[in-house]
Structure 1
Amino acid sequence: MKAVIQRVSQASVTIIGKKVASINDGLVVLLGIVNEDVSEDISWLSNKIVNMRIFPDAEGVMNKSLLDINGDVIIVSQFTLHANTKKGNRPSYIKAAKPDVAIPLYESFIKQMELDLGKSIQTGEFGADMQVALINDGPVTIIIDTKNKD
C-alpha cells in the first residue's frame, strides 16, 4: 500500500457536483493498493498515519499526532499512485490492484483507521471521478509505502 498524506486545514470531495466529504483540521489520505498488499499492511499503515507527529504543538514544532489534535480524515482511493513512468509518456497502472482485490482492502483500511482513530472518517467513492479540494497546511505532504516498512 502506498499513501500520500496531506495535512490540511480544510478539504472536501465532490462527485458529480455533490459534496460527499468535508473536513477541517486533519489529513487527506490518498491510498493506492497493489495485489501484494495484505492485512498486515493495513494495520501498520493505519497505526503509522494516526500516530505520525506532523501537527504543530504550542511552540509550532511538529510534535502532535492526529490522535493528539482529534483531527479528521478523508480517505480517497488513488490507483494512480502506483503508476509506472519508466517507459514513454503514458503511465502504466498495471501494478495497481483490480477492484476485486482493491475494494475489500480499501474498505478494511477505512475500518482500521476508524478503530485506530476512535471515530468515523469520511471517504471518497472507490472508482469514482472525484474532485478533491484541499488547503494543504504547512504545506505538509508525506509519502508512506508499506513495502518500505522494514
Structure 2
Amino acid sequence: MKRLSELYEELVEHYAKFCTMPGVRVEVEILRLQERGYSREEAIVELYKRAFGVSEVEVMSGAEPGRPEARAIVYRREESASVVAHMALRASVLLGAWALSLLVISPSIEESWRTVALLGGASPAALWAAFFALRASKRLKAGRG
C-alpha cells in the first residue's frame, strides 16, 4: 500500500530513464488521462499500472500533503529553461554554419573576420559540450549515473 505521492515520484523516476524532462512528461500524461475523464488520482494510478505492468495498485486513502499546482509550476520552469537552452543551441549552430561557410567560400578574408568565423564555428561545439555536461551532472546528482 503506497501513498499517491510515492506513486508519482516513482513515475517521475521511471520516466527519467528515457526522458530529459520526466516531470513534464508525467504531467502531460496525467493531463491526457484527465481529458478522457479520469481524476488526477485515477490518472496517476493508471499511469503507474501502465509503466510498471501491474494489474492492481493499492493506494492509501486520505488527504495528500503538498500542492500539485506548485509542482506544475516547477515543471513549467524546467520546460521553459529547456526551451531557452535549445533555442540558444540552435542559434549557435546557425551562427557556426554561417561562420564556417564564410571560411570555406572566401579563404582570403581579413584576419579579424577569420577570427570571428573561427569563434563562430567553435561556439556551437562549446555550447553543446556545456549542455551535455549539465545533463550529466544532473544525472549524477540524482544518482542515475
Give the TM-score of the pair, scaled to structure 2.
0.24
Bigger helix share? 2
Compare relative contact order (CA 8 Å, sep 6+) and give the higher one, 1 or 2. 1
Larger radius of gyration: 2
Q: TM-score, structure 1 length as denominator? A: 0.24
The structure with the largest strand share of the pair is 1
